[in-house]
Structure 1
Amino acid sequence: VHREITGQTGIKKLLTSIAPRSYIKRKIRRSLGFDDIRLIISGGAALPGWLSSGLSQYGLDVIQGYGLSEASPLITVNPPSSPRHESIGMVIPSNDVEIRDTDGEGNGEITAKGPNIMLGYYKNQAATEEALTRDGWLLTGDIGYFDEDGYLYITGRKKFVIVTKGGKNVYPEEIEEKLTKSPLIEEALVFSPDDAQIQALVFPQMEEVQRRIERMGEDVTPENIWLLLRHEIRHANRELEPYKKIGHFAVRLEEFPKTTTRKIKRYLFKDLRLTPDTRVLL
């Protein structure tokens, strides 16, 4: 939508620039068949803040919530009257949520308790004891923090956290969100082969990448794709603390394999190590 609007030329560009934003929003909603839809609810995976706010600019308000099947399934949700795009919302009235085992930045495991929390897994006592404390708190395995107004934010998964040799916690999902903010990057996988250097594997948005490279008068080759994306990696690094910066990256020329819920199968890449001369993985 953004590319279609900003890419207008001539009289269409002029009309788009002077048309009231409310008019443009109505046109977009109508063209997508969303005339009668009041809200779009997002769940299942964290929605990047830049995506949520971008949709909102064009009249597509997205309310993000959070929960698990073990919580039947809701724990938090953004109030429709005052949503925060990067947040998974506020705790529903029937629940209590605590952040446990916090690190130096206030991130810790999200735990929840309430009447909607499961009693346990059917005929699986071992799994139940891993997920529930003796007093009924659900250990979600998600890492997050509260802001001063009681909005909850997710920064990653406990099982994916990278603990550097300096004792710092790096959450791959946080860095991946910054990378995929770029219109040139479709997907990203952040990892560390040695708990020292942060590395990334990137699947480009090929249509946009091709357009940029051809505009530069160059051939669309794997090497030129890597060189173009290097600027995006450097831009993301400028927003990261030193211990989170990406030391090396490579380009993947096909989509990542995913689960049925469209999450990257990280376990397939657990032994991946990029050498300094690796730029493209075929």
Structure 2
Amino acid sequence: QGAKTIAYDAGMKALSVLPLHHSFEATVGMWCMWALGITVCINDSLRTLLPNMQKWKVDAMLTVPLMLTAIYRRVKRAIESSGKMKSLKLGLWLSRLLMKLGIDKRRTIFRSIHENFGGSLKTIISGAAALPPNIQQLFNDVGIDCLTGYGLTEASPVLAVTRINFNVVGSVGLPLSDVTLAIEGPADSRENAGEILARGDNIMLGYYQDEESTKATFTEDGWLKTGDVGYFDENDCLYITGRAKSCIVLANGKNVFPEEIEDIFMKYPGVKNIIIWGESSARGAIDLAARFEIDIADLPSEVNPESKSEITKYLQEIVSEVNDQMIQYKRVKWFIWDESELITNTTMKVKRDHEIARIRAALAQKNTDMHELKADYFSL
């Protein structure tokens, strides 16, 4: 199914950057590529990612949002430091105008950006977590088709993906040809999202020697319960709003999926990663708290990277800005920040339970809490 969907040409080169024990990389990044006659180049470290792309002149790459965000910000910093941001904006305007006329000159207009990636990169496939739409859109605009997919190990692992000729930014595209997806409830908008269900030959038979977990993971009529929450738009494109397990249930019964809010914060310079969770207040309510992982080198030029107070003020401004976009119960009330990395798995997804436990343990050790800190630097 993956080979039919990707439809790459034999003789192309793909770069492998993810751990090979991860099902996404093993199936799509290796076996699928080999089935199409594509050479797979193994990247040795993130430090040598761009040099390897330039050396091997790869055509395609599988990656995860956090890695792609880092690449995007590195390229953006290089453009800003060279004083070419105005040229980029002009090029984007011209490129979009020509595309509306059916003329594709993206690789010519943005030749210098393509040279950063070796000059041959045509497609990026991002999976394992949500990709910020602005990053996906920029890669598309400069002539590198940035596709997003969705799946899980129990589905071998891909269920849906955007296509080069139908790449709806913000969605995870359409189901694979032999996959059927459904959603519990109406699921016609973000507000009416429900759990995603899946059927197909790629779905696992069950967990090895674990009948109890297998029974809990399937409906009575055989649908796989993915544990993810989403909805379909009018074009049958699938949108993911969050994980059922990470849903924050407020005292008033409202549900908040933190991923929705985290994705907005990830668009801001300097925000390398973030986690949002529910924190009990003295009045018995549950309010939203956040912990920012800050990339000092990526902060806006007007923010002094040596000044904790200036960084805190900058974060207060963006929290206020994001809160203004949110209805009352989705607003972040408290936050802390530092430069240490959030706890993540091999595909750079935040391990929420571990990270929240770590934060609470550190707060307790220093005899403080989120209510007292409100908005401040806090070293973990």
Partner of 2:78: 4
Partner of 1:89: 173
Select 1:191's aligned residue among 263, 269, 277: 277
Distance 2:114 2:179 in 1: 35
| One-letter identity of the residue aligned with 2:111 | R
Distance 1:152 1:160 in 2: 19
Asked if 1 retains the 8 angstrom alpha-carbon contact of 2:184 and 2:194, the reply is yes
Which segments of 5 or more consecutive residues in structure 2 lack a partner in the other structure? 1-74, 96-105, 361-368
Distance 2:115 2:255 in 1: 45
TM-score, reference length from structure 1? 0.88
Partner of 1:28: 113
Which segments of 5 or more consecutive residues in structure 1 lack a partner in the other structure? none
TM-score, reference length from structure 2? 0.67
Distance 2:325 2:138 in 1: 20
Distance 1:13 1:72 in 2: 42
Q: Does 1:281 align with 2:367?
A: no
Asked if 2 retains the 8 angstrom alpha-carbon contact of 1:102 and 1:109, the reply is no
Q: How does 1:133-212 map to 2 (within 5 A)?
A: 133-194=219-280, 196-209=286-299, 211-212=301-302
| One-letter identity of the residue aligned with 1:275 | H
Deviations 1:236-274 (A, max 9, x none): 112211110111111123111211221122112445351
| One-letter identity of the residue aligned with 1:30 | E
Deviations 1:39-60 (A, max 9, x none): 2111122212122112222222
User: Against the structure 1 CA distance between its residues 15 and 268, is the aligned structure 2 distance closer, same or farther, given a 3 Å change threshold?
Assistant: closer
Asked if 1 retains the 8 angstrom alpha-carbon contact of 2:179 and 2:200, the reply is yes
1:95 Cα shift?
A: 1.9
User: Against the structure 1 CA distance between its residues 14 and 143, is the aligned structure 2 distance closer, same or farther, given a 3 Å change threshold?
Assistant: closer
User: Against the structure 1 CA distance between its residues 16 and 108, is the aligned structure 2 distance closer, same or farther, given a 3 Å change threshold?
Assistant: closer
Question: Which structure has more helix as a fraction of its residues?
Answer: 2
Select 2:136's aligned residue among 39, 52, 63: 52
| SS of residue in 2 equivalent to 1:84 | coil
Once superposed, what is the RMSD of the aligned Cα atoms?
A: 2.3
Distance 2:90 2:144 in 1: 21
| One-letter identity of the residue aligned with 1:154 | I
| One-letter identity of the residue aligned with 1:276 | E
User: Against the structure 1 CA distance between its residues 15 and 81, is the aligned structure 2 distance closer, same or farther, given a 3 Å change threshold?
Assistant: closer
Asked if 2 retains the 8 angstrom alpha-carbon contact of 1:99 and 1:145, the reply is yes
Asked if 2 retains the 8 angstrom alpha-carbon contact of 1:67 and 1:74, the reply is yes
Asked if 1 retains the 8 angstrom alpha-carbon contact of 2:342 and 2:355, the reply is no
User: Against the structure 1 CA distance between its residues 34 and 67, is the aligned structure 2 distance closer, same or farther, given a 3 Å change threshold?
Assistant: farther
User: Against the structure 1 CA distance between its residues 191 and 16, is the aligned structure 2 distance closer, same or farther, given a 3 Å change threshold?
Assistant: closer
Aligned residues between the structures: 275
Distance 2:82 2:318 in 1: 25
1:13 Cα shift?
A: 6.8
Q: How does 1:96-135 map to 2 (within 5 A)?
A: 96-101=180-185, 105-135=191-221
Identity score, percent: 33
Distance 2:250 2:89 in 1: 48
Deviations 1:154-180 (A, max 9, x none): 111100101111211100111111111
Partner of 2:158: 74
